[in-house]
Amino acid sequence: MEKITVLVIDDNELNLKLFKTLLTLGKYKVLEAANAEKGIELVHNHHPDLILMDIQLPGIDGLTAIHIIKEDPDLKEIPIIALTSYAMPGDEKKAFEAGCDGYITKPIDTRSFLDTINQFIRHSKGNSGKGRATGH
């Protein structure tokens, strides 16, 4: 059975390391990008099973990157979970309106992170329609 691939797009090196460690423990293959431009390139080249997208990124922000990915017919079905540490009222709604399938606030709860990801992947693989996963 081929490993499920998760692309993590986050400009914080410590966050990338944490996500990679947790996802590797969960037996996922992990791709990393420190900005949206590199992330979009990786999405095109690897077609990951799931994308974890930081909203606050240098250059192209996460919401714009989500629009770019979701507008591509070959990529639009890839589920995207928004990650943010600056949750303001309305941010979650903006993320879902941009095309996100889930929303997780940082700092993440390391004890439940993999459960949230596993639940989301099972849900998105099992349904043809959009599912919503949230972790706060």
CATH number (domain holding residue 91): 3.40.50.2300
Domain limits for position 75 = 5-135
Task: Answer yes or no: pTM beyond 0.85.
Answer: yes
Omega before 48 cis (within 30°)?
A: no
Predicted pLDDT of residue 128:
39
- Please count the structural domains in the chain: 1
In whole angstroms, how large is the CA radius of gyration of the chain? Answer: 13
- What DSSP string runs through 55-73? SS-SSS-HHHHHHHHHHST
Q: Are 51 and 36 in contact (CB under 8 A)?
A: no
Predicted pLDDT of residue 131:
42
The mean pLDDT values, 10 residues at a time, for the chain of 136 residues are 90 95 95 98 97 94 95 94 79 88 89 88 57 47
